[in-house]
Structure 1
Amino acid sequence: MTRAQLPAALKHAGRKRGIETEADRVRDIFRADWAHQPPLVEDALGKQMLALLTQLGAAYIAADQLAEAVE
């Protein structure tokens, strides 16, 4: 993920505070030598992570909509 994509993904997942700090922390983890896999594996895992973040974002939206419906 790029530097700009991380904060956007965190916001989309529902994070509201400390986004830049968390994005930097996650970026450092992803760039650590021990965290690397072969390029094809890393690409597949990145796509899987984006799919999971999309699902998490959808869950947040559904929860918000349910809360509004209950009100």
Structure 2
Amino acid sequence: MPAIDLNRCTGCGWCVAACPPHVLSLHVLPGSGWGIKRAVLDDATGCTGCALCALRCPMDAIRMVRRAPKT
């Protein structure tokens, strides 16, 4: 599952475009007068773990982490 470092993310959208199941999107940060956007994982259950988002991110803002096993 992608873990997004919001301090490194520039909101460029490359990860969103690379995501086959379309579970990532750009959101405007609350309180950002300039409309600053960051990538957000909207649907963790729909993520396939393909890591294309992490591979495509030019800022190395996404790393893949293992999900907890389902019980």
TM over 0.5: no
TM-score of the two chains, using structure 1 as the length reference: 0.23
Q: By percentage of residues, which structure has more helix? A: 1
Q: By percentage of residues, which structure has more strand? A: 2
TM-score of the two chains, using structure 2 as the length reference: 0.23
